[in-house]
Structure 1
């Protein structure tokens, strides 16, 4: 197939492109820039912006399938900025696919679309979208995901993948931030340190996406559905963070701070940043981050296994070896 991947210059998109190439697909990158890493993959880049309908429509000529991994990610920012890229950009993509005849769409979502304020233990895909979000990113992704799934059967087949806490090689977000905070002495265990979470090694997350396309283009048991994916088991978040720090040559952390205190601090920062109009700077803490770091949120992955045969190829222990210095 001729496959368009949005955001190959990013983290997950790069690995998806690599896996698609291994499977013999012709891969095209759609993003605002072209990098040397994309050159190394040997794929073409069509430069453009998802918020420009003509850009994405032109990129979709003679395309069979699309992986939509690009988007605005962040724990803080203006609602309109997240909406413009994550919602309007996704709607442009779906509508342009229909116009140009591209048939299959695999959308990269997030478990945060079902996260309000409460812990989630062994949640499944029947969990509803919350009425209120503490994070504009999660809110925008939920709107986009619903649009993608509702579009299934109307000229295209769609599915949504919800990987949680993706880590691994080329990560420019989670691991670098953890190391930076640990080095500065600003990383502390939030809560009692016993919260369990799902994690995803990036090669496993990519594998799930590619498996989803194989199913969508054959029996299509996954059409119109969203799926949680993860490693072979949830992990104690803070034990896992310490293992990452050790793998990167840093000392583990042990000092703790109350979740209630951090949540309140996050609220204060949000109020101050809103009052000052500081939407381009990341607050040191937000309520959403406090809850993500201090509560349990993990899911069942049975549906992904049954519907399109997903199971992690690389174990947690193997992945930690692969990310060592």
Structure 2
């Protein structure tokens, strides 16, 4: 089929493009900068911004389906910036799909239902959060609602803490800040994560099953490893893959929350400075957030083909080969 992947040069978008191109689909990628990895795959690159409605419509034209991976991510930043990309950009993609008759797989986030309290084994019946401590989850929740209520066959996937070779966020952040890393609370809280190839599999499975009138239309699905683990266990597993020592130090949650509040206030008066600790980060590191993926198994046929152990081995091998 003819498929457009927004954010195709990003971490998850590139993995989706690799899967689609590998099975013979005609793939386009909409992103802002040319990507050598996509050229090697034979992917047509549309260099544009999802905030440009005309450019998005031109990229979608002639496509049967869109996998919308493009998003502004981060734990801190101006609401307006996040809204323009995550909400307005998603609306542009949805409008272009409606005009061109394309179906839509939207990449969302479990953070849309996380209000700062523990989420333990919940399924998709859990409601959207009513309070958010960062613009990212707030705008992702807005975008997901727009997509699921929209006029085209659409499904939202919620991959959680995507990691693996090429991860631009988690491991690089842990490595860069390893001398000041602390675990929060007296003991680990249980979380879910997902290896990047498993998340990409879920996108393609949803793409293949999404049709007008199918059970997927208008629904959201959690996508994880199905192997919940402790937050500190996950952090230290990634550090071990990079050949680094584990983090043992712990900080009381209340102290971390207070420090995050002060740092965010300072960031508000220091233009361009991003605080190293935020309330959103504290919530993610100090609460349980793991999910029941029975619906994804049932409706998508999703089975995590790369286990946590295999994913860590692949990550370690990738890092050992890096220049």
Paired residues of 2:112 and 2:141 also in contact (CA < 8 A): yes
The farther-off stretch of 202-211 and 126-135 is 126-135
Equivalent position SS for 2:173: helix
Paired residues of 2:28 and 2:43 also in contact (CA < 8 A): yes
Q: 2:286 aligns with which of 280, 294, 298?
A: 294
Aligned pairs for 1:44-63 (under 5 A) are: 44-63=44-63
1:82 matched to which residue of 2?
Answer: 82
Q: How far did 1:272 drift?
A: 2.1
Q: How far did 1:211 drift?
A: 0.6
> Does residue 109 in structure 1 map to residue 101 in structure 2?
no
2:310 matched to which residue of 1?
Answer: 318
Q: 1:268 aligns with which of 253, 262, 265?
A: 262
Paired residues of 2:158 and 2:221 also in contact (CA < 8 A): yes
Paired residues of 2:211 and 2:217 also in contact (CA < 8 A): no
Provide closer, same or farther for how the CA distance between residues 25 and 219 of structure 1 changes in structure 2, counting only shifts above 3 A. Answer: farther
1:123 matched to which residue of 2?
Answer: 122
Instruction: Describe the superposition over 1:190-238 as per-residue Cα deviations: whole angstroms up to 9, x where unpaired.
Output: 1123211000000000001111111114872211100001113211111
Distance in 2 between residues matched to 1:245 and 1:108, nearest whole Å: 27
Distance in 2 between residues matched to 1:135 and 1:260, nearest whole Å: 18
Equivalent position SS for 2:120: strand
> Does residue 208 in structure 1 map to residue 202 in structure 2?
yes
2:12 matched to which residue of 1?
Answer: 12
Paired residues of 1:269 and 1:285 also in contact (CA < 8 A): yes
Distance in 2 between residues matched to 1:29 and 1:60, nearest whole Å: 10
Distance in 2 between residues matched to 1:191 and 1:40, nearest whole Å: 46
Count of residues in correspondence between the two structures: 317
Q: How far did 1:24 drift?
A: 2.0
2:137 matched to which residue of 1?
Answer: 138
Gaps of 5+ in 1: none
1:256 matched to which residue of 2?
Answer: 250
Q: How far did 1:135 drift?
A: 0.8
Distance in 2 between residues matched to 1:93 and 1:245, nearest whole Å: 37
Provide runs of 4+ in structure 1 moved above 3 Å. none
> Does residue 172 in structure 1 map to residue 168 in structure 2?
yes
Aligned pairs for 1:209-228 (under 5 A) are: 209-217=203-211, 220-228=214-222
Paired residues of 1:106 and 1:213 also in contact (CA < 8 A): yes
Distance in 2 between residues matched to 1:187 and 1:294, nearest whole Å: 14
Q: TM-score of the superposition, structure 1-length normalised?
A: 0.95
Q: 2:225 aligns with which of 213, 231, 245?
A: 231
Paired residues of 1:5 and 1:67 also in contact (CA < 8 A): yes
Q: TM-score of the superposition, structure 2-length normalised?
A: 0.96
Q: How far did 1:263 drift?
A: 0.8
